[in-house]
């Protein structure tokens, strides 16, 4: 099935230099690393027939581990992390594969009665189409009450799958993105 569309979101990156090597845990020109739980997300961009989409451009953005975006309109009082911009641009390989290293984003308030579940935004530009979606984390209690996640017919298509990793403390997730035509 095609990956469901999600909103672009109010905090698309402005004025930041994106990470281009898929590692959002470091900021060029600083000595530190981003705070929070390190996660690696791997996956493929595919068309509905399961064929890889080569050279698809993925723009990725997210909140930091405290639930705050590096964006002038984010009024969340949570702290910023000087070692995290939360913004990257990468391309898929010939096999449609991609990999990013980042931190698990924190939840954040969307008003008095709603906390957004941790998620990562993806804008995917394939050969024939553009998709904006969000990836959610498996086992998150807030998933069940996230209004955007629950608004799609098949929420499970937006929840990454855990990949067992016995010898590393880093969390590995798999999130395939399926475009209608590629």
Answer yes or no: 49 catalytic: no
A 10 A CB-CB count for 52 gives 17
Among the listed residues 33, 41, 17, the one whose alpha carbon sits nearest the alpha carbon of residue 134: 41
Answer yes or no: 170 catalytic: no
Q: Which of 68, 71, 121, 136 is catalytic?
A: 121
Q: Which of 2, 116, 136, 171 is catalytic?
A: 116
Q: Are 80 and 6 in contact (CB under 8 A)?
A: no
Q: Which of 69, 71, 98, 136 is catalytic?
A: 69
A 10 A CB-CB count for 75 gives 8
Answer yes or no: 108 catalytic: yes
Answer yes or no: 98 catalytic: no
Angle among Cα 176, 26, 34 to the nearest 5 degrees reads 90
Q: Which of 44, 98, 119, 136 is catalytic?
A: 119
Answer yes or no: 44 catalytic: no
Q: Which of 44, 68, 98, 108 is catalytic?
A: 108
Residues recognised as catalytic:
69, 108, 116, 119, 121
């Amino acid at each position: 099935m095609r990956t469901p569309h999600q909103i672009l979101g109010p905090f698309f990156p402005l004025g930041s230099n994106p990470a281009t090597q898929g590692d959002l845990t470091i900021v060029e020109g600083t000595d530190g690393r981003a705070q929070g739980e390190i996660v690696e997300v791997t996956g493929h961009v595919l068309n509905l027939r399961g064929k890889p989409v080569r050279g698809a451009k993925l723009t990725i953005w997210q909140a930091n581990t405290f639930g705050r975006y590096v964006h002038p309109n984010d009024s969340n009082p949570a702290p910023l992390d000087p070692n995290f911009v939360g913004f990257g641009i990468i391309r898929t390989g010939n096999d449609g594969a991609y990999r990013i290293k980042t931190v698990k984003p924190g939840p954040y308030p969307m008003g008095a009665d709603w906390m957004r579940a941790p998620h990562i935004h993806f804008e995917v530009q394939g050969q024939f189409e553009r998709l904006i979606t969000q990836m959610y984390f498996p086992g998150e209690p807030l998933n069940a009450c996230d209004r955007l996640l629950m608004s799609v017919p098949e929420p499970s298509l937006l929840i990454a799958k855990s990949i067992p990793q016995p010898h590393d403390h880093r969390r590995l997730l798999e999130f395939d993105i399926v475009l209608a035509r590629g």
